[in-house]
Amino acid sequence: MKPGALLINVSRGPLIDQAALQDALTSGHLGGAGLDVMDPEPPKWDDPILSDRNIVLTPHIGWKSDQSIIEVEQDAVAEVRRILLGDTPKFQVNNN
């Protein structure tokens, strides 16, 4: 990444090599990082990345906002309605 770049990961923790990220932050190569996910999750209490001044961590809830909660609730109601009307769930889980 370019010097001074910001790294954001809201996907999956293992996508980021956290030791390399820590080195890049410590050396000043990266300007900062924002992580909503880590590997391992939860992180170990003594993980040095937790005390880095150039990182913002969220506990896997970076998606949460007033609007997102409303949308989750509306989607849940729509799924219940769909099932009660005899339709197939939109996001069916198969236990095969």
Q: How confident is the model at residue 93 (pLDDT cuts 50, 70, 90)?
A: confident
The residue from 41, 71, 73, 81 that is catalytic is 41
Q: What is the pTM of this model?
A: 0.68
The pLDDT score that the predictor gives to residue 86 is: 95
Whether 2 shows a pLDDT value over 90: the answer reads yes
Q: Which residue in 12, 62, 60, 8 sits closest to 32, CA to CA?
A: 8
The residue from 29, 53, 60, 73 that is catalytic is 60
For 48-60, how does the pLDDT look when each residue is reduced to its tens digit (9 = 90+)? 999 999 999 998 8
Cβ neighbour number for residue 21 with a 10 Å cutoff: 19
* Known catalytic membership, residue 29: no
The residue from 12, 29, 81, 82 that is catalytic is 12
* Known catalytic membership, residue 81: no
